[in-house]
Amino acid sequence: MRRSAKEAEESARRITRRALFLGGAQAAIVAVLGLRMRHMQVEEADTFRLLAEENRVSIRLIPPARGQIFDRAGVLIAGNEPNYRVVITREDARDVAAVLERLARLIPLTPEDIERTLAETRRRSPFVPITVADRLTWEELARVSVNAPALPGVTPEVGLSRYYPLVEDFAHVAGYVGPVSEADLARYETPDPVLQVPKFQIGKVGVERMMEDVLRGQAGSRRIEVNAAGRVMRELDRREGTRGADIRLTVDAALQSYVQARLGAESASAVVMDCATGDLLAIASSPGYDPNLFVRGISSADYRRLLDDDHRPLSNKSVQGAYPPGSTFKMVTALAALEAGVITPETVVRCPGHYEAGGRRFHCWKRGGHGPVNLVRSLSESCDVYYYDIAQRVGIDAIARMAERLGLGVRHDLPMSAVAEGLNPDRQWKRERRGQEWRIGDTINAAIGQGYVLSSPLQLAVMTARLATGRAVKPRLIAAVDDVPVPVPEAPPLGLTPSHLAAIRQGMYEVTNSRNGTAHSSRSVDRAMLIAGKTGTSQVRNISEAERARGVLRNDQLPWNRRDHALYVCYAPHDAPRVAVSVVVEHGGGGSAAAAPIARDIILHALTGGLPPLTAYPESQRNRIETDQRNLRLRPIAEGAGAGRTRA
């Protein structure tokens, strides 16, 4: 059937529209493809070039710079120094053993180093860089950099490492850092990812450990492009971390160095405390050790030497040591009796050289006795019988409560490792811990700081500061964090009767300034720096009646570790106390001979800010003191070094 002209025209018109539609669709598709090709070839060229070359992008953590530690005047105690190191990434190295073999031709690597690195790469994720060697020289680092194309997965880096410029002086205070261990990771419920970075170092002891979260900072990250051979092509992006906060301690570096030198080779400790604020101006333990050895990786021989030393250099005796306080405890017994009203300062007790109680004889240190003594004389001449007697009147429970009031038997809150709690024994303690009832002899021993009583040098310094001020002064070690001062806690009154405190202070004054005082030879003759103190000697062995009958052996006749501990506590000036000091010399013999001379030198240095002036010593001692001062091995302290250091 023939179509009409009109129908033919309409059909042609429809065909033309379809052609135009199809043509337009094809043109649109071509345009989209063209635009996509342009986008891929021009705008995403770098991305596809990475894929074409089998390159990949790795994200690596940037360890933060550790906060530094300064003394109260800004002298650097713990800082950071550049550390050249080489790391390897397993996923980039492919054959790690072969790469390490080539690397060993360029830098010193022992078979043990290689085996350790291989074990570490197997234990860690393949993308985590493993430190192969650190503390390289610039020349060694340069050799690795030049040979980088032949060392896939190996990256030379410049990092920071901890160092301690004052070496032994602050080893027990600042502590040291070391590589993260499994035990360290177990301390955290959700460990910081940066702790997984091999050889990343964190605080192990001392302030470094206790203030770890403040000092560490927050890690940064960087995106790097590496090729198929594992070579780093370029850094794509970097996000810097946040460095750790700087910490300023209350300790005076010059005084600390002097105290450490003055303790010398003794197994001893000393604490210097500001009576008003509680600031620890020095807190020393002897002998010390070099904390830098631990940062660099201490050898087995060096570590064994420290462990085998009978003077225990790794122990911080100033806060960890717990000793029978000996006669330095007599102020506690006296105050307990005074406050309970069982004696007055004028109460007299006759000392025949011994005290009978419970069918036993308890001896005074002075075999012939002191005769009639009151409170002041009992302290001045350290009569034991006086305290045996008054302790029986007041009882052990009141003595224990007074000891706690004065800061003994209390674990003081300081950012230091293993701060000792000490021990103030009472009836309940013995019943619970020993399953025994308290006995008369226990009270008599406790009255003079023997038996079960234990105190640390830190606690003895706190006790002395509280006696000097009549206030509950608390020790503190952190002065500021990132230049923001840490508030000084208020020291409320102890609530002790002023006349009773005055009597105790008078007795301590007589200890050093009375001709018959046990520390008279360690007095100061400078009227502006007169010292009030108390000697102490604590036995570490029992003396049998048979030995007493034939004559008690002198300390110098005994092996070193069987000799008595020597103690001395003091404050000065006696009429306006500024500084309190405690000194403990392990197995030093008598407190008056071994501990008091050290404490006098320390407190004079603390008051004057330098070597004690010879005019503060009795004239007969000045030549010897001058010689001793010349022979002291003092570490030079750059005054104000690092002062004003602020957070970047």
Q: What is the pLDDT of residue 645?
A: 39
Q: Evaluate whether residue 428 is within a structural domain.
A: yes
Domain count, the chain: 2
Q: Is 244 within a domain? A: yes
Tell me what pLDDT residue 227 has. Answer: 62
Residue 118's domain comprises 58-249
Q: Is residue 239 located within the same domain as residue 267?
A: no
Question: Is position 320 within any domain?
Answer: yes
Same-domain pairing of 326 and 294: yes
Q: Indicate if 522 and 558 belong to the same structural domain.
A: yes
- Residues 218, 358 within the same domain: no
pLDDT of residue 403: 98
- Tell me whether residue 620 is in a domain: yes
User: In sequence order, what E strands does 89-219 have?
Assistant: 130-136, 154-163, 176-179, 201-205
Residues 225 and 328 in one domain: no
The predicted pLDDT at position 391 comes to 97
CATH number assigned to the domain comprising residue 189: 3.90.1310.10
276 and 182 housed in the same domain: no
Q: Cα(183)–Cα(178) distance, rounded to whole angstroms?
A: 12
Query: What is the enclosing helix (H) or strand (E) of 100?
Result: helix 96-103
With vertex at residue 187, the alpha carbon angle to CA 184 and CA 193, rounded to the nearest 5 degrees, is: 70
Domain co-membership, 274 together with 244: no
Pair 245, 259 in one domain: no
Do the domain assignments include residue 426?
yes
Amino acid 35: pLDDT: 76
Domain presence at residue 23: no
Q: Which residues are marked as active site?
A: 327
Per run of 10 residues, the mean pLDDT along the chain (length 648 residues) is: 62 65 73 73 63 62 89 96 86 86 89 87 77 85 88 84 94 93 80 76 94 90 66 71 93 97 95 98 96 86 93 95 96 98 97 92 93 98 97 97 97 94 96 94 96 97 98 97 94 97 98 97 97 92 60 72 92 97 95 96 97 96 95 76 38
Q: What is the pLDDT of residue 91?
A: 79
Residues 194 and 321 in one domain: no
Cβ pair 323, 567 in contact under 8 A: yes
The three-class DSSP label of residue 192 is coil
Residues 106 and 234 in one domain: yes
Within-domain flag for 203: yes
Residues 6+ apart with CB under 8 A from 393: 337, 342, 343
Rg (CA), the chain: 36
CATH code of 353's domain? 3.40.710.10
Both structure tokens of 165:
């410029």
Strands 69-70 and 247-249: parallel
- pTM for this model (two decimals): 0.84
**Bond before 573 cis per omega within 30 degrees:** yes
DSSP-derived secondary structure for 336-365 = HHHHHTS--TT--EEE-SEEEETTEEEE-S
If residue 274 lies in a helix (H) or strand (E), which one and from where to where? strand 268-274
* Same-domain status, 228 and 319: no
480 inside domain = yes
- Residue 313's identity, in one-letter code, is P
Look at residue 644 in the predicted model and tell me its pLDDT.
39
Q: Is the same domain home to 194 and 340? A: no
Place of tokens 């004028």: 346
